[in-house]
Structure 1
Amino acid sequence: MASDSPAGTHKDPVTGEMISKTELKRREKQREKDAKKAEKAAAAPPQAASKPAAANEDDLNPNQYFELRARTIQKLKETQSPNPYPHKFHVSQSIASFVEEYSKEGLISAGQKLDDVIVSLSGRVHNIRSSGNKLKFYDLHGEGTQVQILANVRDAEDSDEFISTQALFRRGDIVGVIGHPSRSQKGELSISPSSMVLLAPNLHQLPSAHFGLKDQETRYRKRYLDLIMSPGTRNIFLTRARVINYLRRYLDNLGFLEVETPMTSMVAGGATARPFVTHHNDLDLDLYLRVAPELYLKQLTVGGLDRVYEIGRVFRNEGIDLTHNPEFTLCEFYMAYADMYDLMEITENLLESMVRYLNGGSTIVKYHPEGKDGKELVMDFKTPWKRYDMIETLEEKTGVKFPPGDTLHTAETNRFLRDLCVKHNVECSEPRTNARLLDKLVGDFIEPLCISPAFITGHPQVMSPLAKNHRSRPGLCERFEGFMCGKEFCNAYTELNDPFEQRLRFEEQSRQKEQGDDEAQGVDEVFVDALEHGLPPTAGWGMGIDRLIMFLTDSPNIKEVLLFPAMKPIETVANTSGKEPGPAGQL
């Protein structure tokens, strides 16, 4: 079978990366040296009984520790005494349930053990303390909770096996415990085991229990290790799950139907964004990863599904920064026989009630943005929220009168906006279209005003190719954007349902695309055909889940709220940081 490896490269058996033959030999020699050092350390005289378990191993570097630990586990696999990777261990209750049940006051006294109760728990060992080889204390962690294991040989069913099993355990191992609920002499809730079993060994040294995992790069690349070491990380993702669950229940209670739409399509539409391109081999066809589910959801509304929503991933081939990731989670819903004003009310009520649910009734959320000298931003989600009219606020902040709304698309207005940006040092890269220039001005003058949640309204039609024209202000459309902490979190409008006007808007977008704006949308004939069958008066809404979670969990970087954020390949990081590269191609 032909190899997929590049010519002249070999696979490192430990890291899995593809490297040169010379580099492979160098690493093998280094590992042999590390293994000899590890064996020498392991053969050293045993430490005093009061020392922690595996004290000598704690002095090894990570490579030495891995080599020694891997050899030990390989020998166990060969002898099966015991099997280090058993198939099953019966767990009678979770650690959280155990702590809740047996921590009740007066149930177990200090130094007491409930001999008539037997439980079996499992979890990961985070700390080991020894008092000789007959008494050891373990901190057992699981599901965000911990309990002490008070392992005394006097409680063991088989004392010899008990001692030999204890000698196998290291920090980070997953173990099973069968024993009795108890309390130590100092009154700490514990489990006193009659037997313990190794369920899955950890071959690597855990970071220090005292200092934890501090390196940000490692936390994002090895989220499993971050979750092991950082309770705060676990809490962020528990909150994320609660937010998504609350959002679903809120929409379901309003009579919305959750649906799923395609991830790939022949036209990248539904949002002004640069798409990813992929290829379908069987059809020999280039496709786009979706930038938004909007056009599909509106087709469903045409089909009679009056209230639909979707929560899922979208993909935008754009920059990565503190608030942007190339793939993110979006919620969009479409509500027939509603307009933008109905959705503003729904947005306010949704988020105020959600924050009260998360914060025990309070509407106040504090946020500490990165790079702001620790400045604290205080948001109040209590309704009603402040509303900023885009053109009126820009006129107020810049001190100039803007052209009439029905001329905001013209070349004259483009010159006006260019001059205004130069005057106020507002940077805008090419192509400097009217929409992009206006967006940059809004970013400098209006968005910073929105600390507590607020709405920006009164968008020009040139910025909103899918929104319905304003019913009383020519040249503007019925659209609002929600902002907090100066960042957008939602976007909504009264939907354009006129197929003739929609085609003209799409064609204008196509002209902008030809002029170099690769974020502009093209003409979607399928969607126009759907509109020709009749879309009822409808309002549509979209919200970025990840950015909302950032604000609700005081996370200054979007990578904190994504389990697996986009990262540069490790080789690229190694070339710029001087660190040894890890597995090839890892993101």
Structure 2
Amino acid sequence: MTVIVAATTKTLAAAIFDHYGGSSGTEVMVVVKAASLISEDEVDNNNDTRGRFYHEVPLKAAPRRQPLASFALRRLPRLSNARFMNPNYSATTNNSFQRPSLNINFHSLSRQLSTVTSTPETWIVKPEARLEELKNLAIKPYPRYQPPKVPVVQVRDIISNYQDILENGTRDENKKVSVSGRIYSKRESSSKLVWFDLVQDGQPIQAVFNRKNYSGSDQEFELAARTYQRGDIIQVETPILSTQAGGANAKPFATHANALDMDMNMRVAPELYLKQLVIGGIDRVYELGKQFRNEGIDADHNPEFTTCEFYQAYENLEGLFEMTEDMLQEMAKDVTGSTKILASVSKDDTVELSFEKPFRRINIMENLEKKLGIVLPDLESEPVAELLEICKTHRVFVSTPHTVPRIMDKLISHFIEPECIQPTFLWGHPIIMSPLAKDIKLDSGRTVAGRFELFVAGKEIVNAYEELNDPVQQRDRFMKQQSDKDNGDEEAQPMDLAFCNALEYGLPPTAGWGMGVDRVCQILTGSSHIRDVLAFPTMRTLKA
């Protein structure tokens, strides 16, 4: 028999081994919760740390109390297997283990054992195998977020509002609310009674689940009506210099760090860093800052520009549609006093824009096929030759290198974007154009990226995603991007293994949103050129 258990201290781990190590042939693999690769002594002093998981080499049954210090800590893969390996135990304040309260939860041991190799030196949980097993059980490991029917509240608000009103064991059945967070531990009293410790923004709360209190069907439970709640959101600063310039398809500015003797890039977007903060437990995070892209300069583009990006756990694309409409409508009112403004669409042409909700929405693939009069080929099969023939027929020039994302971007900019004068959402992008977005299956049967762009006066001012949180799928998409980059596409995103590894810790269902601040200022002030809203735009130097 092999036993896999979890522990937060050496004391607890030794007690677990003592309890289960008496049987002949028994092996115990102890999972230690720790914030980083730390020593056993440090584990003792960090018995409440969370975030990363490490395991010991399996311990043999004899001697029964073999010290943990003799076994090297090894990293456990960061896919969220840890939530299947939480022990149920009771410990006193000095961390001594109480045998009568021992109730280890082995509900998924068989799955864990089927996804590890046979030798102690290579006991590594395989993420791909684990995901495949979940899919075989009809469990979506990375589902879309569906908002609850009842009001969404913060854990801290529940505690502050009810801690002085309700005594332990009492309940208010007339008030129903919803909270979102991460389950850090689970304790089963029976098959129908379970306790969870849920943590949101560092604030824990205990929840009890009783099957007898649930009368609806599974389908009713999963159906949701959208409820958007503005809450605390934390402003952060992320690195401008890094070894990887990911988060957007753009050519970066390259530089060299002399102190490190290392080539670096100026960032093209803060996206990957911000999503790692959500992975780390900050559910709402935003950054207002500079981006740098080594590309062309025109009326709508400056190499250095300002964006506002935010990422919110437990939100979806539908919520971002409505939030964007609300924000732009209120901005127009605050700046101009009206939802209708005059804006420049060219040097000599102005139009009246209306920011009254709802904004127009265009399904990209359906609209493009209608204009072309054909059904587009399967884009995942890399039909470069077919797409170039379509461009040739319609006299659309595409510069090299010829990749599917570049050709599709050119077709969209030629046929659809010129129509987007009034505020218009373009949605339903091909997945191949959106390597960081979750895929969504439409009622028509077509699978598209969970993404939209907002165009106003012919300019893209907002780009939003339901964020891809499947690390295996993200690696595959980065590999396709890297292939395009190797074939000469300087704007393709590079492989970012650090970000893929971070995803294995678990990114909650998250929606991301980015706005070009300079372009919004350009529209609201009626400026025809982006340099008119920049104090020091990038311009060519005068020659003597």
Q: Which residue is 1:427 aligned to?
A: 397
Name the residue aligned to 2:57: none
Matches of 1:253 and 1:438 in 2, distance apart?
A: 36
Matched, 1:451 2:428: no
CA separation of 1:420 and 1:387: change in aligned 2, threshold 3 A: same
2-side partners of 1:317 and 1:310: how far apart? 21
Please, which of 324, 349, 352 is the counterpart of residue 329 of structure 2?
352
Does residue 484 of structure 1 match 2:460? no
Please give the secondary structure, in 2, of the residue aligned with 1:309: strand
**Paired residue for 2:375?**
401
Q: 2: CA distance between counterparts of 1:376 and 1:547?
A: 16
Say yes or no: does 1:342 pair with 2:313: no
1:498-547 deviation digits (Å, cap 9, x = unpaired):
00000001111100000000101111111111100000000101111011
Q: Contact 1:509–1:521 at 8 Å: present in 2 too?
A: yes
> By how many angstroms is 1:477 displaced?
1.1
Structure 2 match to 1:103: none
Q: Which runs of 4+ in 1 moved over 6 A?
A: none
1:266 equivalenced with 2:238 (yes/no)? no
Report if aligned partners of 1:378, 1:451 keep a CA contact under 8 Å in 2: no
**Could you tell me which of 479, 482, 502 is aligned with 1:510?**
482
How many residues of Structure 1 are paired with residues of Structure 2 in the alignment? Answer: 315
In structure 1, runs of 5+ residues without a counterpart are 1-250, 572-580, 582-587
Aligned to 2:115: none
Cα distance in 1 for residues equivalent to 2:296 and 2:492: 16
RMSD after superposition: 1.5
CA distance in 2, matches of 1:252, 1:305: 16
Aligned to 2:345: 369
**Alignment of structure 1 residues 201-216 onto 2, 5 Å:** none
Tell me how far apart the structure 2 counterparts of residues 475 and 519 of structure 1 sit (CA, whole Å): 25
Residue 392 of structure 1 deviates from its aligned partner by 0.5
Map Cα deviations across residues 353-403 of structure 1 (whole Å, 9 max, x no partner): 11111122x1111112334xx332221000000000001101121222223
Q: In structure 2, what is the equivalent of residue 255 of structure 1?
A: 232
Tell me, in whole angstroms, the C-alpha distance in 1 between the residues paired with 2:229 and 2:527. 28
* Partner SS for 2:345: coil
Could you tell me whether the CA contact under 8 Å between 2:428 and 2:452 is conserved in 1? yes
Query: Where does the alignment leave 5 or more consecutive residues of structure 2 unmatched?
Result: 1-227
Q: Read off the aligned partner of 1:311 and give its amino acid letter.
A: L
User: Could you tell me whether the CA contact under 8 Å between 1:408 and 1:475 is conserved in 2?
Assistant: no
1:57-101 deviation per Cα after TM superposition (whole angstroms, max 9, x unaligned):
xxxxxxxxxxxxxxxxxxxxxxxxxxxxxxxxxxxxxxxxxxxxx
CA distance in 2 between counterparts of 1:496 and 1:297 reads 14
After superposition, residues 75-474 of structure 1 pair within 5 angstroms as: 254-360=231-337, 362-371=338-347, 374-403=348-377, 407-411=378-382, 413-472=383-442, 473-474=445-446
Query: Aligned letter for 2:344?
Result: H
What residue identity is the alignment partner of 2:402?
Answer: R
CA distance in 2, matches of 1:388, 1:557: 26
TM-score, with length taken from structure 1: 0.53
Deviations 1:178-221 (A, max 9, x none): xxxxxxxxxxxxxxxxxxxxxxxxxxxxxxxxxxxxxxxxxxxx
1:567 to 532, 539, 543: 539
- State percent identity of aligned pairs: 50
Q: 1:422: how far off?
A: 1.0
Matched position secondary structure for 2:413:
helix
CA deviations 1:308-338 (Å, max 9, x no partner) are 0000000000011111000100111001011
Deviation at 1:567, TM superposition (A): 1.0
Superimposed CA distance per residue, residues 117-164 of structure 1 (whole angstroms, 9 cap, x where no aligned partner): xxxxxxxxxxxxxxxxxxxxxxxxxxxxxxxxxxxxxxxxxxxxxxxx
In structure 1, what is the equivalent of residue 517 of structure 2? Answer: 545
SS at 1:274's partner residue?
coil
2:540 partner SS: coil
SS of equivalent to 1:287: strand
Instruction: Give the TM-score, by structure 2 length.
Output: 0.57
Aligned mates of 2:346, 2:481 — CA distance in 1: 36
Which structure would you say has the larger Rg? 1
Hey, what's the Cα distance between the residues in 1 that align with 2:367 and 2:375? 11
Is residue 340–residue 352 contact of structure 2 (8 Å, CA) maintained in 1?
yes
Equivalent AA in structure 2 for residue 388 of structure 1 = I
Distance 1:479 1:253, change over 3 A: closer
Per-residue deviation at 1:298?
A: 0.2
Per-residue deviation, residues 446-502 of structure 1 (Å, max 9, x unmatched): 111111111000011110010001134554211100001111111011000000000
1:432 deviates by 1.5
Give the secondary structure class of the aligned counterpart of 1:323.
Answer: coil
Q: Tell me by how many angstroms 1:444 deviates.
A: 1.2
Aligned AA (1:481): E
